Amino acid sequence: MTPGRTTNVTVGPPAGESRVWTASRVITLVATVIEVLLLIRFVLKLLSANADQALVSLIYGVTDPLVAPFRGIFAQPAGTPVVEIATLLAIVFFVLLAALIVAIVRATTGRRGDPAP
């Protein structure tokens, strides 16, 4: 390098920050997939979709274990449920859970002595 001449060098994030970013993105992706499936279930239930149809049955089958812990928290009115409250509770729960996990990952893997962003 010649004296008096400057060059711009782009340096990527340190390896630790890259792993944190990747972990955060993976957690967010998984949570988003779960939330979208639950939203689809909510809309299908709201519109009284035919549960015997293959795609609807698949969505109900995949999301049923995610919704099951929230059934019975609030009483459903008699008759055909128009709004499935358990699904809404599951959506809120998984949004908050994903945010908590990402915050924990970022907090526990952050470098010490760095100023907070």
Q: pTM value?
A: 0.74
Which tens digit of pLDDT belongs to each residue from 84-100?
A: 889 999 999 999 999 99
Mean pLDDT of the chain: 83
Burial class (CB in 10 A: 0-12, 13-18, 19+), 24: middle
Residue 76: which of 64, 94, 88, 63 has the closest Cα? Answer: 88
Domain residue spans of the chain: 16-109
Which residue do the tokens 């010490």 mark? 112
Which tens digit of pLDDT belongs to each residue from 1-58?
A: 566 676 666 555 554 567 778 888 899 999 999 999 999 999 999 998 999 999 999 9
